[in-house]
Amino acid sequence: MEKNLKERVKSGLFSYGLMLGYADPLIVEMAAYAGFDFIRIDCEHEMIDISAVKNMVMTANHLNLPVIVRLSTLDDITRLLDFGVSGVMVPSVNGKEQAIEAVNLVKYGPIGARGMSGSARYLKYGETKLNPEEANERTLLVIQIETKEALNNINEILSVDGIDMVATGRGDLSQSLGYIGQPTHPKVIEAEDYVITQTLKYGKIPNLLANTPERVSELKQKGVYCYSIGRDTAIIYKALKNHISLYK
Active site residues: 45
Q: Which of 159, 172, 173 is nearest to 204 (CA)?
A: 159
Instruction: Report yes or no: 145 and 154 within 8 Å, Cβ to Cβ.
Output: yes
Identify each DSSP E strand in 4-156 by its residue range.
15-20, 38-42, 67-70, 87-90, 140-145
Identify each DSSP E strand in the chain by its residue range.
15-20, 38-42, 67-70, 87-90, 140-145, 165-168, 205-209, 226-231
Q: Which helix (H) or strand (E) holds 226?
A: strand 226-231
The three-state secondary structure class of 18 is strand
The amino acid that residue 205 corresponds to is I
Instruction: Report yes or no: 21 and 45 within 8 Å, Cβ to Cβ.
Output: yes
Task: Kindly give the interhelix angle for 25-34 and 50-62, rounded to the nearest 10 degrees.
Answer: 30
**Cα 59 → chain centroid:** 18
Q: State the greatest distance between any 2 C-alpha atoms of the chain, in Å, as a whole number.
A: 62
